[in-house]
Amino acid sequence: MAINDITLAGGMRNNLVSLQMVSSLQARTTERLATGKRVNSAVDDPSAYFAAQNHRNRANDLAARKDQMGEAIQTVKAALQGIEGITKLIEQAKGLAASARSAGATDRASLAAQFNALRTQIDQMAADGSYKGTNFLASDALTVDFNEDGSSSLTISGFDASTTGLAVAAAQNSWVADSDVDVAVADLDTALTTLRTNAKTLSSNNGVVTSRQEFTVSLINTLTTGADILTAADTNEEGANMLALQTRQQLGIVALQLSSQAQQSIMRLF
């Protein structure tokens, strides 16, 4: 049955419409207080809603990039830790070479065998320096995107940190001659230079990624704050609105009762 099927007095109809409007406003105010948002859908304010949505979408895209940057930083850290470990092994190998200079033939052969064993450890450490399948100590490369469309990026390139890549050959002739030891020492010095150069490059790239990650975090916060400003409700204002609407509702009910008294007086005639 439609509401117009029942005839109401003019005053009652006006009061009913007023109460319906108050009820609608109360529902809107209750939603704003519950969600903390002034704009909950495009119907509330299309301009603010879609602008805020664009801010949040970009913030979400950047959040994914931020996670990628964090993974890249960890990959570089894994490589730097590997370089540090390989450097210690090479310094240990240099100690063996230094000992061989003053050792006899038998001891030199033993030291040369230890040197070759260290080479194996260097190769294994270089192979184990990966993070999530990327190993900068095995000449892998990684491209890190900084913005949502990938137009800003950095490619981090690794190097071969194995004994082959570092050009550290096996001990020649079991280090029988001093010249054999000199060759090993020269190889080790070159390897240390290579490691230090690449460590500086990786550290520099790590600094760039870290700076971009910090910038991205700040930008995400700015975008999120901007979206909140566009859509957030003033809880103090909405609380005051609710109190005012409750008062209007009570007054409307009283007015509706007064309007119905005119019709009730007719009943007294019977």
> Kindly report the CA angle at 41 between 40 and 44, in degrees rounded to 5?
85
Q: What 3-state DSSP class applies to 184? A: helix
Per cent of the chain over pLDDT 70 is 80
Residue 96 maps to a domain:
yes
CB–CB of 183/93 below 8 Å?
Answer: no
CATH value at residue 202:
1.20.1330.10
β-partners of residue 142 are 156
Say whether both 83 and 149 belong to one domain.
yes
Q: How far apart are alpha carbons 54 and 231 in whole angstroms?
A: 12
How many separate domains does the chain show?
2
Longest dimension (CA), the chain: 136
CB contact set of 59 (below 8 Å; sequence gap of 6+): 219, 220, 223, 224, 227
CA distance 151 to 149: 6
pLDDT tens digits for 141-198?
Answer: 999 999 988 899 999 999 999 999 999 999 999 899 999 999 999 999 999 999 999 9
For residues 9 and 107, membership in a common domain is answered with no
Residues 154 and 53 in one domain: yes
Range of the domain at 163: 46-230
Buried b (16+ CB within 10 A) or exposed e, 78-99: bbbebbebbbebbeebbebbee
Q: Are residues 157 and 66 in the same domain?
A: yes
Instruction: Tell me: do 129 and 116 sit in the same domain.
Output: yes
* Residue range 100-151, pLDDT digits in tens: 988 888 899 999 999 999 999 999 999 999 999 999 999 999 999 999 888 9
Q: What residues contact residue 248 under an 8 Å CB cut-off, 6+ apart?
A: 18, 22
Mark whether 138 and 201 lie in a shared domain: yes
Residue found under tokens 């038998």: 106
Query: d(Cα 1, Cα 11) in Å, to the nearest integer?
Result: 22
The pLDDT value given to residue 40: 75
Residues 154, 57, single domain; the answer is yes
Indicate whether 225 and 117 sit together in one domain: yes
Q: Report whether pLDDT(5) > 80.
A: no
Name 167's Cβ contacts closer than 8 Å, sequence gap at least 6. 187, 190, 191
